A and B are shown apart, each in its own frame.
Chain A
């Protein structure tokens, strides 16, 4: 019901359990490469768009090798899109110096940087979601930990993911029962406020009970996991290949170079 359906979190788990070339890569390798990808994409100057296009290759490769449904992933990206939109939306207003023209229309620097922000957003969020979809949240958590991310953060992340389902389910039920008693009128903001408050209190109670159950089974602050995973040669080649590509695409505008190649250097 409700939010859980909307974010289809269970679907992500199913995708994470598939067995494809992308899934078989070591989770650490994918985590390192994706992190490097995000850093490199974010490091471009703000007016760059064309130089970023070669970076589409990485998420596309993950998606196709991992057989991840593109429509599903696109919907997930759109959920987060408003955040990027609000970050970039004022650029066209603040920066009105024309930097290029398309036909007779002058394009201001603001629009170009706005486009660049949105494009980077799609690249990075797409890559991160593709990473989760072809790794699974639990394996990703274990990988982060083995890469030296402090255990508390990893555990927080995994718990956030685990209880998102339970809490959003609870929220859905509260909303439904409120609607059933509202005689068809839309719920007032005040009601939502109260519901969110209740949800917070219930989540805190839940946290206490979960902790209690953990302690009852000998939890002492350290989460131990049983997961064999091995970093093999193909993983090393994957990491090296991707990093090499990112660095060259950062140093040279591969899109322009490719264009020059096609047009015989007439650009």
Chain B
């Protein structure tokens, strides 16, 4: 199905203070895959993600989500298709209770109350957080917050999941649970992260960014095993791939 395709063509963006965050980014992601977006701090990963749902947009549009060219006018459509999980769950969970937070997106989409309720129930069930329904979000643990933040996005039934640093601040068990969830989601996934071991487990393809450009892309193991490439862009060869080749 074509509406899972994400295509970015020659995308450039500078912040009002003149910082050039993106300099001619191009890539295409087909349906169903999980793609990692890796690169050092300030490489432009988060800025790129914000273009995918039209939060940031340039005058001529270079982003296509499915059949939609993302512009200011079509941003609402893009936001329905692209679910975005932000880096800090405290930014994402702003309603008084977990259930209301999960209901926020579906209510904005104009769904009737009974459908909203079933979306909320199934999204919370999906991430195993049903028991936290009525709790205020700021009193949850980091792992719970992350899971609920993901549920808030799942409840909108997006085609594409975009995540910024999903495993940051998680303890090993919560991180493991996150990886299992990611593997179980059938959505197209775009994951910006420094957690290269997670990339090896979850993503088939990798985009490497540095200074606002895509400097390499390809199959995960191939790219991440290229020690020179990784070191040149502030990254490293992850441990699980260390002994993939005989000496």
CB-CB < 8 A to B86: which residues of A? 209, 212-213, 216
Answer yes or no: B196 CB below 8 A from chain A CBs: no
Answer yes or no: A137 CB below 8 A from chain B CBs: yes
B136 in complex: contacting residue of A13, A163, A219, CB < 8 Å:
A13
Residue among B83, B88, B94, B100 facing the most chain A CB atoms (10 A cut-off): B94
Answer yes or no: A10 CB below 8 A from chain B CBs: yes
CB distance from B163 to the nearest CB of A (A): 12
Number of A-B contacts (CB under 8 A): 79
CB-CB < 8 A to B103: which residues of A? 226
What residue in chain B is nearest A163 (Cβ atoms)? Answer: B94
**A82-B152 Cα distance, complex, nearest whole Å:** 42
Answer yes or no: A56 CB below 8 A from chain B CBs: no
Point out residues on B near A: beta carbons under 8 Å: 50, 53, 55, 76, 79-80, 82-84, 86, 88, 90-92, 94-97, 100, 103-105, 107-109, 113, 116-117, 134, 136, 138-139, 152-153, 156
**A169-B152 Cα distance, complex, nearest whole Å:** 24
Contact-size category for A: 20 to 34
Answer yes or no: A217 CB below 8 A from chain B CBs: yes
Q: Do the beta carbons of A217 and B108 come within 8 Å of each other?
A: yes
What residue in chain B is nearest A138 (Cβ atoms)? Answer: B96
Given A165-B138, A213-B94, A218-B105, A226:B117 Cβ within 8 A: yes
Closest 3 CB pairs of A and B: A138-B96, A218-B108, A217-B105
CB-CB < 8 A to A226: which residues of B? 100, 103, 107, 113, 116-117
CB distance from B46 to the nearest CB of A (A): 10
CB distance from A78 to the nearest CB of B (A): 25
B96 in complex: contacting residue of A137, A166, A216, CB < 8 Å:
A137
Within residues 159 to 193 of chain A, which ones have a CB less than 8 A from any CB in chain B?
159, 162-163, 165-166
- Determine the main DSSP class of B at the interface with A: helix
B94 in complex: contacting residue of A17, A159, A225, CB < 8 Å:
A159
Q: Do the beta carbons of B55 and A212 come within 8 Å of each other?
A: yes
Q: Do the beta carbons of A209 and B79 come within 8 Å of each other?
A: no
**A206-B92 Cα distance, complex, nearest whole Å:** 10
CB distance from A18 to the nearest CB of B (A): 12
A217 in complex: contacting residue of B88, B100, B116, B153, CB < 8 Å:
B153
Contact with B along A219-257 (1 / 0, CB 8 A): 110001110000000000000000000000000000000
CB-CB < 8 A to B79: which residues of A? 215-218
Sample (11) of A-B pairs whose CB atoms are under 8 Å apart? A137-B96, A138-B100, A162-B96, A166-B90, A212-B86, A213-B86, A215-B55, A216-B82, A217-B104, A219-B108, A220-B108
Residue among A10, A166, A217, A226 facing the most chain B CB atoms (10 A cut-off): A217
